[in-house]
Amino acid sequence: MTTPGRFVSGAIDLGEVKARAEARQKTHSEGPASTAIATSITVTMENLENEVLRRSTQVPVIVLIGTSRSPDSEQLKADFTALAANAGLSFIFGYIDADTTPDVAQVFGVEGLPTTIAVAAGRPLADFQGGQPADALQQWISSVIQAVGPQLQGLPEGATPADGSPSQAPVEEPEDPRLDAALIALNEGNFDAAIAVYEEILKEEPKNAEIKQARDTAMLMARLGTVDDGTDVLAEAEADPTDVGKAFAAADAEMVSGNPEGAFDRLITLLTRTAGKEKDTVKGRLIELFGLFDPTDPRVLAARGKMASALY
């Protein structure tokens, strides 16, 4: 995104949600069970637990906290609704009206309206504030789905959109049986095991671009899993711009937030501040991040040009 927010993992305050849930006589211990699933919902305190937090263990839930007083909010709401209707249940869109349900908005601890938050496995993954064009929203959603989709449970078998929009396409079995183990590992959140499978394949097929991309994506997710929930990696990197480790963590957060340009520029700037083996390490991470995209992607081509200038 052109104006990504901070990485907000762990920011949702569940105290009020849990209190409401415990007060209800009926609790849905197994989460949403219906196979007719709305692609877009209005989030309230009554359905927050089931239709956002529990649903996000199955597929990503994109939550917009907005207000009808804001043209940006209204445009985002319309764009997300349309994108969700055509996404085949690969994500669910939830809208929170901060004016009519301020208690729900407070759960997310937002600082400005509109704010959009991607929730996966019951936790916020990435966010941004303000409006964005529809094509940028699509790219951001795609990056979220690519990043966390494989490790989520998936929707119940036979799930269909309640509004009659196209159903989720069936997941095809991998043509290469060697990928079975990698898929099992990813579904279990065992990224190291998946990486090991990809590395074995690459020993035999070093030019297999799809496997390289799968490996690099798994490596990115493995690194994200080591970040403490309360850490603001972007702020830490800004406070210590020469620290390679902090810059790497910030770049990862920017990648998963849908801001690859920011990640590329951060590491390219770091190239100009490092030397020797440290510079080679930064160059290697940049190349790895490039591998997450098609080689002809204009963002990659532009960043490669900048990298060449920084190196030579």
State the residue range of the domain holding 179.
Answer: 172-225
Query: Is residue 10 in a domain?
Result: no
Query: Is residue 284 in a domain?
Result: yes
Q: Are 94 and 178 within one domain?
A: no
Q: Are 63 and 139 within one domain?
A: yes
Q: Over the stretch 73-91, which tens digit does the pLDDT of each residue have?
A: 999 999 999 999 999 999 9
Q: Which is more confident, 225 or 43?
A: 43
The pTM of the full predicted model, rounded to 2 decimals, is: 0.53
Q: What pLDDT is stored for residue 248 in this prediction? A: 95
Q: Are 220 and 271 within one domain?
A: no
Q: What pLDDT is stored for residue 165 in this prediction? A: 55
d(CA 228, CA 239): 18
Q: What pLDDT is stored for residue 168 in this prediction? A: 47
Q: Are 181 and 54 within one domain?
A: no
Q: What pLDDT is stored for residue 12 in this prediction? A: 55
The domain total for the chain is 3
Residue where a domain stops, chosen among 127, 142, 161: 161
pLDDT at 42 over 90: yes
Residue where a domain stops, chosen among 139, 161, 183: 161
Q: What pLDDT is stored for residue 31 in this prediction? A: 55
Query: Is residue 34 in a domain?
Result: yes
Residues 225/229/235/240 CA torsion (nearest 10 deg): -60
Q: Are 26 and 145 within one domain?
A: yes
pLDDT at 98 over 80: yes
Query: Is residue 295 in a domain?
Result: yes
Q: Among the ranges 11-25, 147-161, 266-280, 295-309, which has the highest mean pLDDT value?
A: 266-280
Burial class (CB in 10 A: 0-12, 13-18, 19+), 250: buried
Q: What pLDDT is stored for residue 224 in this prediction? A: 80
Query: Is residue 2 in a domain?
Result: no
What average pLDDT does this structure show over 139-149? 84
Q: Are 139 and 24 within one domain?
A: yes
Burial class (CB in 10 A: 0-12, 13-18, 19+), 60: buried
d(CA 188, CA 255): 22
d(CA 264, CA 15): 38
Q: Over the stretch 197-245, which tens digit does the pLDDT of each residue have?
A: 999 999 999 888 888 888 888 888 888 878 776 778 999 999 999 999 9
Query: Is residue 167 in a domain?
Result: no
Can you read off the two tokens belonging to residue 245?
Answer: 């480790």
Q: What pLDDT is stored for residue 144 in this prediction? A: 86
Query: Is residue 6 in a domain?
Result: no
Residue where a domain stops, chosen among 161, 191, 209: 161
d(CA 14, CA 302): 42
